[in-house]
Amino acid sequence: REPRSAPLITAPALPGWDHAVSGKVRELYVPAGEDLAGAREVLVVATDRISAYDFSLAPGIPDKGRVLTGISLFWFEQLADIVPNHVISADDVPEQVRGRALRCRALDMIPLECVVRGYLTGSGRADYERDGAVGGHTLPAGLVEASRLPRPLFTPSTKAEQGEHDENITVDQARERLGGDLVDRLDELTRAVYVRAQQIAAERGILLADTKLEFGFSRADGTLTLGDEVLTPDSSRFWSADAYREGVAQPSLDKQFVRDWLTSDASGWDRTSGQEPPELPPDVVAQTRDRYIEAFERLTGREFDPEG
Ligand code: ATP
Ligand code: MG
């Protein structure tokens, strides 16, 4: 299962599609001659770019984009009875990006990162330490790193402009910005997705600590629709159920390897220096790729096919 080709880092020219925008990981295309504001369809292409500690790393992880696309497709299907999603086709896409591209309904994206947390970690824990609350939900005292929360919490954040950080806001602040009815629907849907996904992941020995969803309104008929990627290692924290221990930082299934190398003496990089991290050596790239593939295989129960 060696990679079939070099990592895809930049947006390739694709017949029938015009490149519209670059995200951190994905490239968005519209049908040739159309523009993003008016298009009814988009092509979402996941590249092999990877970031850690807010830096984009070189040289990228071969097949990472395929893994992310495969995992998203799996979840979109598992969740289809809870929420409609943007996928039109994974097959009817340009040959060159097959496996990493999805033809999707164009959505008017809602400017909110719909975060749901089942465990306390990351910025949620920082908020808890400061306020005793996360996303405006008051929590009992005495919770520690990786504590399971009494119930899954909707803890939205703003969708930051390129290069800026997302900012956690309370549910009430989200309601003020977007309207109470919409935020109530997003809250309910996001938690329903979490509950279902957490069950499925648990059957595979994986704890879903938290995840982030993005919704939009379908241009065709206004339906509230799940977009972007879902429940991938990039948008979620997956922990190994076997190794779970309250009170300590849990190793993540995918990026931990890269993070550990970057902060080890071997990399020669000082995280506090503000300088770009060094190029990843081939064995770090290969082992990180293995971790992403393992996440795909454990979650979907299918073997990863680099040709597929
Ligand atoms: P991050 O997801 O980490 O916050 P980003 O937003 O820069 O970073 P990418 O996921 O690389 O993200 O890029 C995908 C972009 O495409 C996002 O801005 C997302 O909102 C947008 N998008 C996803 N699905 C659709 C869709 N069906 N219609 C229109 N835009 C979409
Ligand atoms: Mg995104």
Q: pLDDT tens-digit profile of 113-149?
A: 999 999 999 999 999 999 999 999 999 999 999 999 9
CA–centroid distance, residue 23 to ligand 2 (Å):
7
Q: What angle do CA 4, 286, 308 make, to 5 degrees?
A: 30
What pLDDT does residue 139 have? 98
Q: What is the ipTM of this complex?
A: 0.95
What pLDDT does residue 53 have? 87
Q: How far is 99 from 68, CA to CA, in rounded Å?
A: 10
Q: Which ligand is nearest to the CA of 40?
A: 1
Residue nearest atom 3 in ligand 1 by C-alpha distance: 24
Q: Which ligand is nearest to the CA of 43?
A: 1
What pLDDT does residue 249 have? 93
Residue nearest atom 8 in ligand 1 by C-alpha distance: 24
What pLDDT does residue 302 have? 96
Q: How far is 48 from 139, CA to CA, in rounded Å?
A: 38
CA–centroid distance, residue 78 to ligand 2 (Å):
20
CA–centroid distance, residue 166 to ligand 1 (Å):
14
pTM: 0.95
Confidence of residue 58 (pLDDT cuts 50, 70, 90): very high
Radius of gyration of the chain (CA): 19
pLDDT in tens, 162-178: 677 889 999 999 999 99
Give mean pLDDT, residues 235-250: 95
Q: How far is 36 from 220, CA to CA, in rounded Å?
A: 14
What pLDDT does residue 224 have? 98
CB 170 within 8 A of CB 136: yes
Residues with a CB atom less than 6 Å from ligand 1 = 23-26, 28, 42, 44, 86, 104-107, 109, 214, 216, 227-228
CA–centroid distance, residue 28 to ligand 1 (Å):
8
CA–centroid distance, residue 199 to ligand 1 (Å):
26
Backbone angles phi, psi at 144, to 5 degrees: -130, 180
Q: Which residues are close to ligand 2, an ion, with C-beta < 5 A?
A: 228
- Shortest-distance atom of ligand 1 to CA 166: 4
Q: How far is 9 from 47, CA to CA, in rounded Å?
A: 6
CA–centroid distance, residue 42 to ligand 2 (Å):
14
Confidence of residue 221 (pLDDT cuts 50, 70, 90): very high
How crowded is the C-beta side of 147, counted as CA atoms within 13 Å? Answer: 14
